[in-house]
Structure 1
């Protein structure tokens, strides 16, 4: 059990580093946008690695692939880890580093994120294109970037779980309703990561595992008894591009 407890501490440490990177984002962006974006993107990927390490050492005591949030975090981590495709690049990277913002001024994007069941919201975000998830997971898409680590039957079962529990059909309906092209529809992975971590930390606590070290102790209470994400309900925002900096990206809540 010491190995699992060490993995919990490692993940909590990664979570704290990610928070710090996001707190510094706007200040660094004013000086060097690429550095600011890379800092927060690498920090999020570090969290995924920490989550996967915990999965590696605790999969015999928790069924990760029975839940959409934990499944998706492992799938995205594996995809980013191997990086033999152009998928799962963050919205910030696409807009500011790959210069999509220069080609899209005046355009809008549909952004979706899952609601916090406990009220309030998450101050951080990590948006990826919804069709990146489909290209990686859906055999019917015939994507060259399809995950080849599972057979088609298992892939279909995994996709069904993710679509149902994360309510992704609602995003697709909104996409058609508002007439967005697939390359302008994004899903925030941060609430899903929070939900997955709550689920796993709560299971580890129920097994009597300790949260060792300052970071683990700090996150233990909120992620086992205070926070909750409602995966059945989504928020929608329209991102309107009117300039080149974060302050020029106007979010308009959609009902």
Structure 2
């Protein structure tokens, strides 16, 4: 019988596979049913965050790893909590944002900036954009000690390059509300980090997906490089 940690990892791995499958179908479905395509994508992302949080729940009291001491793992947990409770209007994905303005065919801003730690040369890597400043807006409401919120905010600015992204945005004349950041490199980095820690314990993955993703995230993490893409909003 699988332990609770093995089950949590297997469940998380299942959602990763489902996300990949949904991503592969996204473009074709978007062409025929945009609301359904966007909704499916958002729900699979939320599913990944929920299962990551479950893994956190069953491992947070183990020795040797603190999820809130790392920019990537802390961001995923705080983002999941924010979306799970949804007592605010933050963290609307770019595709959902565009869809909400489909009827008027006019976006609030004339130009948008998209930042990612996945190089632009990586054409086939999934990307999922959320408003950069929403993370800063939500952090003060996180149920953490004030000192921990300050530490996490500093980690985000440095390790996830939020400060560098903001500098480029201001230099190029983008409004802060028009800057989006890619969640996927953060998720990938967090998975490599947690898998690396689990490898130092007695953990052994169970299930087909669990073993496949445990092996996958045991490889060298992909190189990160801050890259940007600008978009001039149509009909503005």
Q: State the match for 1:107 in structure 2.
A: 110
Higher strand share: 1
Matched residue pairs, number? Answer: 231
**Equivalent of 2:215 in 213, 217, 221:** 221
**Equivalent of 2:81 in 78, 82, 85:** 78
Query: 1:161 & 1:4 partners in 2: Cα distance?
Result: 27
Greater RCO, CA 8 A, separation 6+: 2
Q: State the match for 2:231 in structure 1.
A: 239
Shift in CA distance, 192/42, structure 1 to aligned 2, threshold 3 Å: same
The answer to whether the 8 A contact 2:191-2:217 is kept is yes
Gaps in structure 1 of 5+ consecutive residues? 138-145, 244-255
The answer to whether the 8 A contact 1:95-1:101 is kept is no
Query: 2:178 & 2:229 partners in 1: Cα distance?
Result: 12
Residue correspondence of structure 1 range 152-163 to structure 2 within 5 A: 152-163=146-157
Identify which range, 204-213 or 93-102, moves more after superposition: 93-102
Identify which range, 177-186 or 93-102, moves more after superposition: 93-102
Runs of 4+ that moved beyond 6 A? none
Q: State the match for 1:5 in structure 2.
A: 6
Report deviation, 1:30: 1.4
Gaps in structure 2 of 5+ consecutive residues? none
The answer to whether the 8 A contact 2:72-2:190 is kept is yes
Query: 2:179 & 2:108 partners in 1: Cα distance?
Result: 16
Residue correspondence of structure 1 range 120-131 to structure 2 within 5 A: 120=122, 123-131=125-133
Report deviation, 1:21: 1.0
Residue correspondence of structure 1 range 1-255 to structure 2 within 5 A: 2-61=3-62, 62-99=65-102, 102-104=105-107, 107-115=110-118, 120=122, 123-137=125-139, 146-230=140-224, 233-242=225-234
Query: 2:185 & 2:209 partners in 1: Cα distance?
Result: 20
